[in-house]
Every structure is written in structure tokens, then in C-alpha cells.
Amino acid sequence: MTDTILKSHSPVKLTPKDFKSDQEVRWCPGCGDHGVLNSVQKAMAAMNIPKEKFAVISGIGCSSRFPYYMDTYGFHTIHGRAAAIASGVKSANPDLEIIQVSGDGDALAIGGNHFIHAIRRNIDMTILLFNNEIYGLTKGQYSPTSKQGMVTKTSPFGTIEQPFHPAELALGAQSKFYARSIDTNIKLTTELILAGSKHKGTSIIEVLQNCVIYNDGAHALITDKETKDDFQLVLHHGERMIFGKNRNKGLVLGGNGKLIIVTIGEFGISEQDILIHDAHNPDPHMAWLLSNMSAPEYPVALGVIRDVAALSYEEKLVQQIKDVQAVSSIKCMDDLLNSGDTWEVK
Amino acid sequence: MSQKTKVIEKEEVVIRFSGDSGDGMQLTGTQFSDTSALFGNDVATFPDYPAEIRAPQGTVGGVSGFQLHFGQMEVNTPGDFADVLVAMNPAALKANLKWVKPSGTIIVNEDSFTDKNLEKAGYDSNPLDDENLSDYNLIKARVTSLTKECLKDTELDQKSILRSKNMFTLGMVYWMFDRPLEHTEEFIEKKFKKYPLVVEGNKMVLRAGYNFARTIEALPYNFSVAPAKIKKGIYRNITGNKATAWGLIAVAEKAGLELFCGSYPITPATEIFQELAARKDLGVKTFQAEDEIAGICTSIGASFAGNFAVTTTSGPGLALKTEAAGLAVMTELPLVIVNVQRGGPSTGLPTKTEQADLMQAIHGRSGECPMPVIAASTPSNCFEYAYSAGKIALEHMTPVILLTDGFIANGAEPWRIPKMADLSPIEVPFAKEGDNYQPYARDTEKLARKWAVPGTKGLEHRIGGLEKMDITGTVSYVPENHQVMTDIRSERIRRVANFIPDVPVKGNDDAEVLVVGWGGTYGHLTTAVRELQAEGKSIALAHFHYIFPLPKNTKEVLKRHKKVIVCELNEGQFAEYLRAGFQDIKFNQYNKLQGLPFTVLELKERFNQLLEEK
């Protein structure tokens, strides 16, 4: 059997158009998925990776139609299993660049187990988690991220379930890369996909996505022009956590271990007092605090929340095979067949 | 190597070692069978152990057994009844007495027949004291105290001393059958090489048992079983699970592909996965998935990415893999799904054997979802049929189910080692750079689509679980196209029949009764039929390995015999399947659902009855 060699790609010039397939895009007009598709095609063109090295793998749901719209290798799999199938693709062929697309139902309900275990293993792929807090393709049932009390077709009197915070789940599975964007912010989403691709290991990019039909305005406070500046905190590694229409609000760490919103210039607070974002901090405590902030109590953290280096699963897998092959006397099947106790009948 | 009073030559002997699940009976049995195989006998073995790792001590439920059958002729089964039973405690005697031949030899560890152990085993009085055992050659040995006595001057702790008592009984049985001790001594040296005290202790106890049997003259005579007349070649012992794993690795090597196995541990299939995990030296990639579903899904991903992908499981796991198996059918990706059948339904009898997943394998998926089903029939031919499953999967671009069962998976037999050069070549239908690639265009012979591996320039394409447009593979909801694609999926699996051998028949074309079997019942069926043929009975055997599709000569074979009886360890699933395909043939049935293999005796009784019927 041949060795899998992790090759470096030669630079190629591609444009977003090169990644558009001949299939008609069938998402509803106004659906947030259109924006993400643009972002992915832009990001891919900027990666300098030959087109044939990409594999886009999805589960089931509106967002999971994604591979059909990409002119790359693609696999539209079955409900919830995309992370497992993508894990197999990457382990089998570590030379591929994997983008895995899932919605909140696909990744966090039926596929929750595969989602957390892909992260735990740290398989090198970028998971785009489209979070619209609803089941769209089945026409409007509550999802594991729907807010408690939400009235849907399967919760006509309001859901009584506690929603998942996807980041909390990912961090619980020891996620090394967690980022968050908004469907309409193509610039930020593109940047995050590039950062996620660069990161070795499982990169989660949660995209707050709007379902215009079944859950319109789910993220309104964060996305509306009037309110968004006060409810978005775009994080940059090494920069202070400052936000607000007038860029005068910031976060400090309170004595009780909680984040506190302060106003620069009030009560003697200066810019120097505001926390500096350290995405590379191996300790997940701050990432947990930041990713769990929700509106209206807090601004919602966007950008790269956590980006900590670690070896990926398939790097370790390939290395282990090399190590064992270096010392084993069994080099081929005939060697194995004749190893151990054998005897000859003459 | 010993002074024997009287030696009686025997054609074949069956020994059953039994004791508490912690008594080391599996190891003892394996040692005896390896030694006999090295001596040149043909051997078949059958471990029979509880699902619990250490079931309640001393109870009948906790008894672990290992039966082996060795002879100077062809041995196809582990034997119905034992010539020698080793019972390390009262529960082992109670559980196994019914399997001892009349006038057989029973060796008991007398020390273990205490009031407490007798009560745990459910005995009202000590069976060693009453008349019930007078028909047997009962050898009462104080195995525990003799082992302690033997090791009293060593520095071994009490626990290690007690643990080595299985070596005492092994030594006794070695003397009875005039077997050399060298192989087991070497094994002990290798296994405990970090603990020289344990090595020395075990060897001392083994020899003590041997000498004890000689001193008391455990038998009025000694058995000798001459080497079998076997085909020339290099041999080794192999279990069905190991042979399966090796067959799969052989496929990958022959096809020039990497082997990927995504699996989740499940009894009795786990050893296949473990063996593959140990073979990193041959580049095998194993992925211990979070569940059965992820097991098959990672493998489907690996197949999409160009590896030879397999997943291993048992019945309940196959049920969990069902949806993903449908995806593999829809996307026409090569994949081998190994199902080591166990007693069901549900958790059922995890460590016991059964053949009741046949219908699940053939039909158990949503939609019209055909895939080839093949079944191995002996421990060693698991290699051959795993190889065949892989070859079909790769050449026909389809998932394949390989059925084995707990009986052949755990059983072992000597195996003439094949040479890789002698295995048939595997032609993988790859699409190549520069091809005008259409994902669902097909070759005319097999109707297999081409495999365009991600990373190949210019062949970018999308596949998925939605219905595909013929040739282009784009998503299609066109009604007529669904009919076309359904027909193609069916026809291309039927065409596998053009590439498999005819079902062979053992016996005359005009035999009155045709015995039909499939899978792991082969050894018992073939022995029963052979013995009846030797008695002059008009009977033949057709044993199937290719289940779906069936070999092309199936109808011809079934039709030419007056009476057909289908024997299987289920309620008649293969019989039902044959009835559906051959409605003008009458199928008699013989079925058993006890978690145990057939016995040759019961099969012969049933066949004789059928022969006598007008």
C-alpha cells in the first residue's frame, strides 16, 4: 500500500466564478444561505488550492444542498452524518481540503454525536454551522437552538426545551477553533473561512443565518442596522474588546469571574482597562465567556473566538503508520500470512 | 516420551475444557488445539463462553467452555459429544455432562466440589459421591491442592499460584493423548517473559499435571491420534475473525489501495477490527467510531475518497448501519460490510451463534436497495469470502454484505496458507484525468459506474442520497428516470451472478435428498451427509456461499432431487428466500434456535426421517 504524503499545493489562480456549478440555486429568495455561498466561493478562490483538492460535504437540510452549487468534489450525504463522512474522507485522503456544511438540526440534533466527536478528534476540516434556530426544510419545527418558549409547528404552545449554545457544546468537546459570523456579512464570513482553513484541526464557524420563511428575524438585534453596533462585538486577536455605535463600550472581567460591560470615559474607565482578545490562549475559560454572551444582556461575539494550535487526527494517524512501518518486519501480506506459528506438511 | 501401558489408536477425539470464566479454559483449549495442529492433526475448535467477562463465580451461567475436535481424517466440526470433559468446578460439570459420550472420561477438580460450590451450581448432593457418574471414567484430581503443593517453595503469590491450575489439567490431557509439551512451554515463556517466576511456575505445574496423570494412570490405556493426511503446504491455525481481517487486507494489497475500516466494537465481530488496528505495518487505517452509524459513515467517506473501505459489525450494529448502507447503494460506492451474526433479536445472545440476519442482509433497507450478500462457511474460508466480497465491491462499485457468524468467527482450524500471487487480480474501474467523466455512465458488462477519486484534476462532481439522473448523476425527480435507475440498480447486482462460481454439489445428481445449507453450518452438514453417504444413503449437499445473487445453476441443482431440505440456524429465512425464487419446488426445513450449532447426530436423524418418508 502506498504512503499518503501530505503535499504542499502549488499556487493557482482561481476566481469565485470557478467554484460555481451549473446547478440552479434553489434556496428561497432572501435566504441567508446565498450570502454564505458567496463567502465560501470567495474564500476558496483566495486559498490558492487547486479546485480538485476541495471536497464539500453536507448532511440534510436547506443548507446541506450546498455541495450541488459548488463546482468541486461534493457529497450530499444523509441527515446528521456529514461530520462522520467528512472524517472518513479526510482520514483516507489527508491531502484534501474539507468544507463540511450543516445546519443546527443536522449538526446538533440528529448529528450531535458526530459533531462532538469530530471536534474531539480534531480532524482537519472546516465545519460551517448554519444556525437559524429552526427546521426549515421540514417547514418550521423547533430546533435544538430554538429559544425557549418559541412557538413552532411542533411547539404550538411554546417550546419547553433549553436550547444548546453551539459554542458551549464545541468547547465541551475541546474545540480548538471556534468562530462566528453573520450570513449577510460576506467580508467577515470569507475571512473566517480562510482562518478556519488555515487552522490545522476541526474549525467551527457558526454562521447566524436568517430563515426568511420560518424564523425571520431570529438574529434581528444583532443584524439590524439600528441595533447591530451595540449588539456585535467583532473580535480580533491582540485587539481590545471594544464595541458600540460610538466605539466607547468595552468588556472587563469582574471580580465574580463574569464579563462586565463598561463605558470608556465613565467611572474612570479608560481604553487601557478593556480586555485584549487572545484567541490563542489554550485555557478555554475566556473563550467560553465570550462565546456564551447573548443579546440583549451582552453583545454577541463575532470573529475568531478561539484558535489554538494542536496536531490534527490525520497527521497523527499518518505518523503512527510510518512509525510502525519503520520497525515492523511485516512488509506485505505474504509476510503476515507466514508470520507466527506455522508448520509444513510434506 | 513416556512409558505407556497400552496405546489405542483413535481416528478422532473430542475434548471439552470447561470451568469458571476466569479459569483460563479458552487458553487451555487453544494450547491443546495448537499443539495438535503442529503435531499434524486436522483440528476444529469451538469456544463457548458467557457474555459477561467474569460472570458470577461458580454458577452454571458463568461457565466458559472450549471444545476441540482433532483427528487423522478431515475434521469439519468441533464434534457433537466429548470423549473427554475437563470440569474445573461443579457448575462446569452440571452444564456440560450432557455433552459427554457414554463411557467418556471426565476429569474434575475435586477440590472445587465444596458445599458452597455445589449449592451455587444447584446440586443437592455431591455428584462425585453418587452413582450418576458410574457410567463414565471419572478422574478425581485435587487440582488446586496439587498445584499449591507443586509451587509451595516458589515465591509466587497465592493468586498467581491459583491461576496456574489450568496448566495442571492441560498437562494431564497432554499425557493422555501423548502430546509433547514443548509448544506450550514456549508459549508460556513468550507470554510471561517479563515475569520469570510465572514462567517457571506455569511450566512446573504443566509438568506436574503430566506426571500426575502418568502416575495414577489416568486411563487404562492411552489414545494416540495419528497425523491427518493433508495436502502439502505451509499451514497455520486461524480463527474466522482473523481470516476475515486478513482477507480484507489482501484485497487492498491486490487492488493497490489503502484499507480503511471505520467500526465500533461489538461482540462477536470485534476481533476483526482489533486485528486490522494491529496492522498499521501494512498501512491499514482503522477508525474507532463513536457509534455504528459513524463506523459505516466514515467508511463511506473513505470510499468516496478512494480507499478500499470496510466496516465490521454484528446484527444490532447492522440495523444501525442500515440508512447509511442505502446511501452507499445510491452513490454506488464500493464498501464491504461484515456482519458476524449472533443470537437475536435485540441484544439477544451476544456470544452465541445464529443465522437469523439473512433477511436483514438481503432486504433490510428502505426503498428498493439491492446489494450482494455472500457468506463464509468455515473459519479459514472467511479469508476467501472476505476477498471475494472486496473484489465484487471494487469491480462492481457496490456495497457488499459478508455474513459470518459467532461459530466460525471464534472457531479455529488449520489453514493452508495461500500465496498472494495466486489470488485472482482485482481491476478497479477508476476514472482518469482527461476522461470525459459522467458520474453515472456505466460499462456495458457489469453496469458499474466509474470511480472518480477526489484530487483527480477535472473530474469534480457531486454525489449524494437524492435520486440521480441516469448518466449525468445530477439530482432528478423525473418519474421515468426513477424507474430507469431502480431497474439499473437491480440489474447490475443480478449481473454479479455472471462473475461467481456455480454452487457445488457433494453427492450424486440422482440422490433422493438434497440437503441445502449456507454459511457457518457447513461443517456439520457436510459431516452428516458424508456419514450418511458412507452408510449408503442417497443424499447430497448443496452449500451456498453466494446468497444474493444466487449462483446461476441454483435452479438446476434444486430441481433434480426428489426431496430438498433447507437447514439453517433460524426459522427458515433461506428457505423462504428460495421459495420466493423457485415456487414450483417443495422445500422441507430443519431449523434450530438455541444459540448453538447443529449436531451431526440430530441432522442425521432428521435426514433419515426424510429419506424414509414416502
Mean residue pLDDT across chain A: 95
Of B189, B224, B259, the one marking the end of a domain is B224
Which member of B253, B257, B291 has the closest CB to residue A332?
Answer: B253
H helices present in B89-239, as ranges: 90-96, 115-121, 143-150, 158-163, 165-176, 182-191, 196-216
Mean pLDDT check: name the lowest of A3-7, B448-452, B599-603: A3-7
User: How many angstroms separate the CA atoms of A334 and A337, rounded?
Assistant: 5
pLDDT of residue A5: 41
Structure letter (DSSP) for residue B220:
S
What pLDDT, in 10s, does the model give residues B569-581?
999 999 999 999 9
Q: Do B281 and A4 touch (CB under 8 A)?
A: no
Ramachandran angles phi, psi of B458, nearest 5° = 85, -5
> Higher pLDDT residue, B178 or B280?
B280
Each residue's pLDDT tens digit, A49-95 = 999 999 999 999 999 999 999 999 999 999 999 999 999 999 999 99
Average pLDDT on B218-225 reads: 74
Kindly report whether the global pTM for this prediction surpasses the value 0.90: yes
Digit-coded pLDDT (tens) for A46-61: 999 999 999 999 999 9
Tens of pLDDT, residue by residue over B130-182, are 888 988 999 999 999 999 999 999 999 999 999 999 999 999 999 999 899 99
Nearest CA to B63 out of B29, B30, B93, B104 is that of B93
Which residues, at least 6 apart from B11, have a Cβ–Cβ distance to it below 8 Å? Answer: B71, B72, B73, B225
Q: What is the pLDDT of residue A341?
A: 85
Confidence of residue A1 (pLDDT cuts 50, 70, 90): very low
- pLDDT of the residue at B584: 96
Which residue in B614, B415, B610 sits closest to B529, CA to CA?
A: B610
- Cβ-defined contact of A52 to B458 (cutoff 8 Å): yes
Lowest mean pLDDT among A153-157, B19-23, B245-249, B385-389: B19-23
A10 inside 8 A of chain B by CB:
no
DSSP letters spanning B395-438? HHTSEEEEEEEHHHHH-EEEEEPP-GGGSPP----B--TT----
Q: Do A78 and B249 touch (CB under 8 A)?
A: no
Answer whether residue B231 is part of any domain. no
| Same domain? B331 vs B264 | yes
Q: Are A96 and B304 inside 8 Å of each other by CB? A: no
Instruction: Tell me if B424 is assigned to some domain.
Output: no
Residue B153 belongs to what domain range? 7-224
B494 within a domain of the structure (yes/no): no
> What residue of B is the nearest CA neighbor of A2?
B258
Nearest residue in B to A338, CA atom: B417
Query: Among partner residues B253, B304, B331, which is closest to A1 by beta-carbon distance?
Result: B253
What does the alpha-carbon distance between residue A229 and residue A232 come to, in Å, rounded to a whole number?
6
Cβ neighbours for B291, distance < 8 A, ≥ 6 positions apart: A113, B264, B320
Interchain CB distance below 8 Å, A52 and B456:
yes
Percent of chain B with pLDDT over 70: 98
- Distance CA(B211)–CA(B372), nearest Å, equals 55
Residue in B43, B296, B298 to test binding to A, most A beta-carbons within 10 Å? B298
pLDDT of residue B131: 83
The answer to whether the CB of A34 falls within 8 A of the CB of A184 is: no
Identify which of A1, A81, A332 has the shortest CB distance to residue B293.
Answer: A81
DSSP secondary structure code for residue B468 in this structure: B
Q: Do A341 and B38 touch (CB under 8 A)?
A: yes
Q: Write the DSSP symbol of residue B336.
A: E
CA distances from A97 to A77, A87, B95 (A): 17, 12, 59
The answer to whether B301 contacts A346, with C-beta atoms less than 8 Å apart, is no
Nearby residues of B420 by Cβ (< 8 Å), 6 or more positions away: A332, A333, A334, A337, B250, B253, B254
pLDDT tens-place string over residues A162-197: 999 999 999 999 999 999 999 999 999 999 999 999
**Per-residue pLDDT at A6:** 43
First CA to last CA across chain B, in angstroms?
57
> Are B96 and B201 part of one and the same domain?
yes
CA distance B400 to B373: 6
Overall average pLDDT of the B500-510 stretch: 97
Which of B285, B327, B475 faces A78 most closely, judged by CB atoms?
Answer: B327
pLDDT at B306 over 50: yes
| pLDDT at site A10 | 60
Same domain assignment for residues B342 and B298: yes
Q: Which residue has the cell 506426571?
A: B211
Contact B287 A57 (CB under 8 A): no
> Does B465 map to a domain?
no
Domain CATH code at residue B165: 3.40.920.10
Same-domain status, B182 and B252: no
Cβ-proximal residues to A46 (8 Å cutoff; 6+ apart), any chain: A190, A194
Contact B454 A96 (CB under 8 A): yes
Amino acid symbol at B132: N
Closest CA to B455 of A28, A73, A16: A73
For residue B583, the distance in angstroms to the closest alpha carbon of chain A comes to: 38
Last residue of a domain, one of B419, B445, B460: B419
CB A259 within 8 A of CB A251: yes
Q: Domain extents for chain A?
A: 16-239+277-331, 242-276
Grid cell for residue B228:
491427518
Query: Both B516 and B549 in a single domain?
Result: yes
Q: Is A24 on the interface with B (CB under 8 A)?
A: no
Q: Tell me how far apart the alpha carbons of residues B412 and B43 are, in angstroms, rounded to a whole number.
A: 8
Q: Is residue B457 part of a domain?
A: no
Residues of A in contact with B283 (CB under 8 A): 1-3, 321, 325
Q: Which residues of A touch B456 (CB under 8 A)?
A: 52
Instruction: Work out the minimum CA distance from A325 to partner chain B, whole angstroms.
Output: 4
Write down the pLDDT at residue B218.
63
Could you tell me the fold of the domain covering A16-239+277-331? Rossmann fold (3.40.50)
Same domain, residue pair B132 and B209: yes
| DSSP 8-state secondary structure symbol assigned to residue B243 | H
Cβ atoms of A207 and A181 closer than 8 Å: yes
CB of A61 within 8 Å of a chain B CB? The answer is no
Q: Are A314 and A91 in contact (CB under 8 A)?
A: yes
Nine cell digits for residue B587? 422445500
Nearest to A261 by CA among A228, A227, A301: A301
Examine the domain organization and report whether B256 and B378 are in the same domain: yes
The per-residue pLDDT for A12 is 77
CA distance A255 to chain B (A): 40
Chain A residue at shortest CA distance from B278: A324
Q: Where are the alpha helices (DSSP H) in B220-370?
A: 240-255, 270-277, 292-304, 315-331, 358-363
- CB-CB neighbours of B28 under 10 Å: 24
**Distance from the A158 Cα atom to the nearest Cα atom in chain B, whole angstroms:** 32
Q: Is A4 on the interface with B (CB under 8 A)?
A: yes
Sign of the CA dihedral running B178, B183, B187, B188: positive
Test the B interface: residue of A117, A123, A343, A346 with most B CBs within 10 Å: A343
Report the residue of A2, A81, A120 to disrupt the B interface, i.e. the one with the largest count of B CBs within 10 Å. A81
Q: Above 0.90 for ipTM, yes or no?
A: yes
Distance (Å) from the alpha carbon of B443 to chain A's nearest alpha carbon: 22
Phi, psi of A86 (to 5 degrees): -60, -35
Pair (B24, B74) in one structural domain: yes
To the nearest whole angstrom, how far is the Cα of B462 from the nearest Cα of chain A? 4
For chain A, report the end-to-end CA distance as a whole number of angstroms: 33
Give the model's pLDDT for residue B104: 92
Chain A residues inside the 8 Å CB shell of B231: 345
Residue indicated by cell numbers 443465522: B355
- For an interface test with B, the pick among A18, A20, A75 (most B C-beta atoms closer than 10 Å) comes out as A75
Task: Output the CA torsion B81→B84→B86→B87 (10° steps).
Answer: 50
User: Which of A73, A90, A114 is closest, CB to CB, to B461?
Assistant: A73
A75 at B interface, C-beta within 8 A: yes
**pLDDT for res A7:** 45
pLDDT tens column, B22-43? 889 999 999 999 999 888 899 9
Q: What is the CATH number of the domain that holds B525?
A: 3.40.50.920
Which one of A68, A342, A344 would you mutate to disrupt binding with B, by most B Cβ within 10 Å of its Cβ? A342
Determine which helix (DSSP H) or strand (DSSP E) holds B529, and give its type and residue range: helix B522-534
For residues B295 and B184, state if they share a domain: no
Q: Write the CA distances from A142 to A86, A107, A114, B306, B442, integer angstroms.
A: 26, 14, 21, 38, 43
| Residue of chain B minimizing CA distance to A52 | B455
Beta bridge partners of B263: B288
B31, B93 contact by CB (below 8 A) = no
Determine the pLDDT at residue A11. Answer: 65
Rounded mean pLDDT, A1-18: 64
The overall longest dimension of chain A from CA atoms, in Å, is 97
| Sign of torsion over alpha carbons B7, B11, B14, B15 | positive
3-state helix/strand/coil string of chain A: CCCCCCCCCCCCCCCHHHHECCCCCCCCCCCCHHHHHHHHHHHHHHCCCCHHHEEEEECCCCHHHHHHHECCEEEECCCCCHHHHHHHHHHHCCCCEEEEEEEHHHHHHHCHHHHHHHHHHCCCEEEEEEECCCECCCCCECCCCCCCCCCECCECCCCCCCCCCHHHHHHHCCCCEEEEEECCCHHHHHHHHHHHHHCCCEEEEEEECCCCCCCCCCCHHHHCCCCHHHHEEEECCCCECEECCCCCEEEEECCCCCEEEEECCCCCCCHHHCCECCCCCCCCHHHHHHHCCCCCCCCEEEEEEEECCCCCHHHHHHHHHHHHHHHCCCCCHHHHHCCCCCEEEC
Residue A339 CB contacts under 8 Å (≥ 6 apart), including other chains? A330
pLDDT in tens, B70-102: 999 899 999 999 999 999 999 999 999 999 998
pLDDT tens track for A92-147: 999 999 999 999 999 999 999 999 999 999 999 999 999 999 999 999 999 999 99
Whichever domain contains B246, its CATH number is 3.40.50.970
Between chain A and chain B, the number of residue pairs with CB atoms below 8 A apart is 217
**B214 lies in the same domain as B343:** no
- Average pLDDT of every residue of chain B: 95
- pLDDT tens-digit map of B438-464: 999 999 999 999 999 999 999 999 999
pLDDT one-digit tens code per residue, B516-566: 999 999 999 999 999 999 999 999 999 999 999 999 999 999 999 999 999
B117 grid coordinates? 460450590
Please tell me whether residues B172 and B249 are part of one structural domain.
no
Asked if B290's CB is within 8 angstroms of A114's CB, the reply is yes
A288 near B CB under 8 A: no
Distance between CA atoms of residues A82 and A107, nearest Å: 8
Q: Which residues of B153-169 are buried (b: 16+ CB within 10 A; e: fewer)?
A: eeebeeebbbbbbbbbb
Give the count of beta carbons closer than 10 Å to the beta carbon of residue B254.
21
Secondary structure of residue B210 in the 3-state scheme: helix
Q: What average pLDDT score do residues B218-237 get?
A: 82
Rounded to an integer, what distance in angstroms lies between the CA atom of residue B423 and that of residue B250?
9
pLDDT at res. B220: 65
Number of domains chain B contains: 3
Among candidate residues B308, B332, B372, the one with its CA nearest the CA of residue B471? B332
Of B183, B327, B460, the CB nearest to A77: B327
Taking the C-alpha atoms of residue A303 and residue B543, their distance in angstroms, rounded to an integer, is 64
The answer to whether A87 faces chain B, any CB pair under 8 Å, is yes
Q: Is residue B216 part of a domain?
A: yes
Q: Which of B461, B520, B605 is nearest to B342 (CA)?
A: B520
- Letter string b/e over residues B487-520, b meaning 16 or more CB atoms within 10 A of that residue's CB: ebbeebbeebeebbeebebbbeeebebbbbbbbb
Amino acid at B79: G
CB B601 within 8 A of CB B524: no
Contact B253 A333 (CB under 8 A): yes
Are both B190 and B115 inside the same structural domain? Answer: yes
Per CB-CB distance under 8 Å, the chain A contacts of B335 are none
CA distance B401 to chain A (A): 19
